[in-house]
Structure 1
Amino acid sequence: MKLSRSTLSVALLAVLAAPAAHAEIAFDVIGGSEISFEGLVQADYNYFDNDFANLNGDAPDGKDSDNELRRAELVLKGKGPGNIDWVVGYDAKADKWLDVNAKYKLGGDANHWFQAGQFKQPNSLEELSSTKNNDFISKSLVTNTFGIARRLGAAYHYGTNDWGITASYFTRELTEHPAPTPHGPGFGFRGNWAPINEKGNILHFGLSYIDYDTFTDTVRIRARPDADLAGQRIVDTGNMTNADRQSTIGAEAMWVTGPVKVQGEYMQSTVDRYNNGNPRQSKDYDANSWYVSGLWNITGETWGYKDGVPTTPLPDSPASGMWQAGLRFDTIDLDDGRAIAGATPTAASVVDGVLGGQMDTWTVGVNWYWRSNFKFMLNYVMVDSSRYFVRTPAAPYADIPANNNVLVNRKVDDNPNILEARVQLYW
């Protein structure tokens, strides 16, 4: 960690030395490449009003709150030589590589390119948007659960400022730790179309499809309650064995009118499972999730549009900043099966299929972009969830084990509330 902290200190000094710069810090031109430096530092605080699960379970201190340096991203970018753009990014907090790739613009066209290396895969409007401009502190349930982020691979893109198609082949992540958890190879497609595309008036639609080998024969799908520091996933399928491939289809839409932005996404994911002679452990598994959100720039700014995603403006008045108010409804359904009642009222039920649980959340948020390099966020999350649990002697209501053909004793409702805050520095 000493190297990471030293590197982060240098980055902070660099941005403080140039407080007027809202974008990257230009370094030099080396070998025909214009090199610049970007950074993102985020610190989060979560307060948990627990209901059933202890959401601060990763911290055995008996407290109801947690705080953490969330990201410390350092990024070098280059334009050139020729039609080549390149990027090398590293997160000193998570100790992992971010975007590490090169892009060749065919014929010099910014909308027609080939890319190789590690990059975000072509799915999810929210995932492809810049992290520093997230509308809410936690990304949505659908993005965090089913979105495929950065993987090593190659992609081809063709389009205009109003539409585009992207095809990608990918393998593992460049950094896979703390323990090796390899991702199998896969492919993805995304198409985006903006029939209306002008400043302050944007209508966007998108479709995506991702399919990949699970690599191992076990898949587990679970989700935190829209709180990145939560130590528990309160909906969880447990380990699903005999898994072969996982595919996800997604649909997205966004509408910008003046200072208001409304967007939503839906994804359905299927785990293909091979036959092992036990029909309860061989059924293909389906899950889905979606959200819809609204954001209002109280101070009147509006959004732009580039590469099939919205772009967030700078404050019209840097001294007073840009204020935003937002509301999001989020839902996920990890149940694909049923509980068959026991022979007697006190007997446990048997699960036919997978019962990972269901969860709905409402998030209310306020954002303040101050000057050109700072952002402050405050969110309040209300959770409504339910999930089947199994009783064991060692853990009275432990997680559902791996074989999906288990005895369950009761369905548990878990409805916590969470207060979240974030301080952000970027350049």
Structure 2
Amino acid sequence: MMRNKIMSSRLRIAGLAAATAITGALLASPVSAQTIEELQKQINALQQQVNEMKAKQDQAEKKSADSGPDLKVKWKGAPELSSKDGNFKMKVRGRLYVDYGNVSDSSGTTVDNTEFRTARLGVEGVVFKDVKYKFEADFAGDEVEIKDAYLAWDLKPVTIEVGQFKTPNSLEEQTSSRYISLMERGSFTDAFGLARQTGIAVAYAENNMTFKAGLFQGDAGGDGGIEDRTYAARATYAVKLDDGLVHVGASIRHRELDEAGTAKYSQRPHNHQADKYVDTGSMAAESDTFYGVELAGVMGPFSAQAEWAWQTANLIGMSENASFNGGYIDLSYFITGESRPYKNGAFSRVKVANPVFEGGMGAWQVVVRYDTIDLTDADVAIDGGKQDSFMVGVNWHLNDYTRVMANYSNADIEGGDDDGENIDTWGLRFQVDW
């Protein structure tokens, strides 16, 4: 540091000496061609000295920078460590959701309980600039379950992923639970078994378009034998507007079922602690196929989101396939003016304009949703029941990484073993991630 200051002082002195010499020469003798030529030689000589001294200073500064620690630290909820050249990165990641739930139905069944809905810890990073990795395990419920565990070769705009991750289906399924607007996703995502599996996928993301397709078989909890083999693909396109966007998308998934040859679809009202009121029971099946369409829009603080999905099961010994469907539509609004961010075919982290720790009121969002799931197909004599739900929610984002969620839902059951039931659920979540 002292050496750099000395070098800078020498440069200033050299420049002052050059100016003094030129001024003195001009004042000392009349201007002539010979005088001008001599002055030019002096200027050139002094300029060369200044350039040499500047080069030495630049070299000294570079050497000083290179000799420092090869480590940068950036805070993104937790410290992200990286090399100066950006070729290596590592960040500890995790999330914690503490939930309260109250469920009551028209038959008098009541649930009033708390749970750790999610308690995850993991790590993600970059190795030699273009290879990314992520590993995360969930410790909720006194069990350890591996969630994302993969590596990705980033070839921009193409990425190749290998490991365990979500099959590419559904806008809400691809949006992290950290960023969804209600405590639970749309009914069909759970009922039709959209989940993480082990496999390989190729993804493309550029010019507001995304495409991802993969081949999967089993998951990290596989126990041998013949596991489901899954083929899945999703495509999206976003039209950017001055103050928002319009998103459209579609996806498909085909599963060749394992040696047990059974399919089963069921769903609970919109609280994780509730029982399941619609259920097809186990069906002998060779395969099943999922189709989904997506539409969403954001305009400033307002957003709308809708999906519809179909699930068909190729039943063994039946001439017809079983067919089920479900979907939702919701509207949300940020009273405090924030907007839902969107990136590569999914919604992402809300940026709170006035966080509580800075003396602000945080971000406040209200949500309403209608959701339906129909697991009855009279043509093949399956009466799993239909569930229609209306939900409202309020979200308080204290800062970019912390929020409190409050949800109410009312569900009506038609058909199935619980025909005529009406279920009220209340939910409260305290959430932090890093």
Coarse TM-score class (shorter-chain normalised): 0.7 to 0.9
Q: CA deviation at 1:159?
A: 3.3
**Distance of 2:367 and 2:224 partners within structure 1:** 38
Q: CA deviation at 1:183?
A: 4.6
**Distance of 1:37 and 1:28 partners within structure 2:** 12
Which of 292, 309, 312 is the equivalent residue of 1:270?
A: 312
**Distance of 1:364 and 1:193 partners within structure 2:** 28
Aligned length: 353
Quote the residue 1:288 is aligned against.
325
Quote the residue 1:175 is aligned against.
221
Q: CA deviation at 1:29?
A: 5.0
**Distance of 2:365 and 2:374 partners within structure 1:** 30
Asked if structure 2 preserves the Cα contact closer than 8 Å seen for 1:199 and 1:302, the reply is no
Which of 397, 400, 409 is the equivalent residue of 1:372?
A: 400
1:329 aligns with 2:352: no
Quote the residue 2:163 is aligned against.
117
Q: CA deviation at 1:358?
A: 0.5
1:210 aligns with 2:249: no
- Closer, same or farther: CA 129–147 of 1 in aligned 2, 3 Å: farther
Quote the residue 2:283 is aligned against.
240
1:48 aligns with 2:103: yes
Quote the residue 1:190 is aligned against.
234
TM-score (norm 1): 0.78
Q: CA deviation at 1:161?
A: 4.0
Quote the residue 2:412 is aligned against.
384
Quote the residue 2:11 is aligned against.
none
Unaligned runs of 5+ in 1: 1-19, 57-63, 339-351, 390-410
Q: CA deviation at 1:157?
A: 1.3
Letter in 2 for 1:328: R
Letter in 2 for 1:246: D
TM-score (norm 2): 0.77
SS at 1:263's partner residue? strand
Q: CA deviation at 1:303?
A: 2.4
Which of 190, 196, 200 is the equivalent residue of 1:154?
A: 200
**Distance of 2:396 and 2:234 partners within structure 1:** 32
Which of 400, 404, 427 is the equivalent residue of 1:420?
A: 427
Q: CA deviation at 1:199?
A: 6.6
Quote the residue 1:81 is aligned against.
128
**Distance of 2:312 and 2:249 partners within structure 1:** 20
* Greater Cα shift, 134-143 or 243-252: 134-143
**Distance of 1:53 and 1:355 partners within structure 2:** 23
- Closer, same or farther: CA 182–296 of 1 in aligned 2, 3 Å: farther
The structure with the larger Rg is 2
**Distance of 2:392 and 2:154 partners within structure 1:** 41
1:34 aligns with 2:80: no
- Closer, same or farther: CA 81–285 of 1 in aligned 2, 3 Å: same
Q: Deviation string for 1:41-92 (max 9, x for gaps)?
A: 00111111221373x5xxxxxxx30110110111201122131111111112
Quote the residue 2:296 is aligned against.
254
Q: CA deviation at 1:149?
A: 1.8
Letter in 1 for 2:231: F
Q: Deviation string for 1:147-170 (max 9, x for gaps)?
A: 522110000112314012111100
Q: CA deviation at 1:207?
A: 0.6
**Distance of 1:144 and 1:227 partners within structure 2:** 12
Quote the residue 1:91 is aligned against.
138
Q: Deviation string for 1:186-221 (max 9, x for gaps)?
A: 111111011x22573110000100001121211111
Q: CA deviation at 1:222?
A: 0.5
Asked if structure 2 preserves the Cα contact closer than 8 Å seen for 1:53 and 1:414, the reply is no
- Closer, same or farther: CA 132–79 of 1 in aligned 2, 3 Å: same
**Distance of 1:181 and 1:66 partners within structure 2:** 38
- Closer, same or farther: CA 355–53 of 1 in aligned 2, 3 Å: farther
More helix by share: 2
**Distance of 1:309 and 1:318 partners within structure 2:** 24
Which of 338, 343, 349 is the equivalent residue of 1:306?
A: 343
- Closer, same or farther: CA 159–324 of 1 in aligned 2, 3 Å: same
Asked if structure 1 preserves the Cα contact closer than 8 Å seen for 2:250 and 2:294, the reply is yes
Q: CA deviation at 1:330?
A: 0.2
Q: Deviation string for 1:79-127 (max 9, x for gaps)?
A: 2213111111111215111111111112xx1x31111111111101001
**Distance of 1:254 and 1:201 partners within structure 2:** 11
- Closer, same or farther: CA 288–201 of 1 in aligned 2, 3 Å: same
Unaligned runs of 5+ in 2: 1-73
- Closer, same or farther: CA 161–309 of 1 in aligned 2, 3 Å: farther
**Distance of 2:76 and 2:91 partners within structure 1:** 13
**Distance of 2:363 and 2:393 partners within structure 1:** 14
**Distance of 1:238 and 1:257 partners within structure 2:** 42
1:102 aligns with 2:151: yes
Which of 372, 387, 392 is the equivalent residue of 1:359?
A: 387
1:297 aligns with 2:346: no
- Closer, same or farther: CA 318–22 of 1 in aligned 2, 3 Å: farther
Percent sequence identity is: 27
Letter in 1 for 2:134: V
**Distance of 1:388 and 1:227 partners within structure 2:** 20
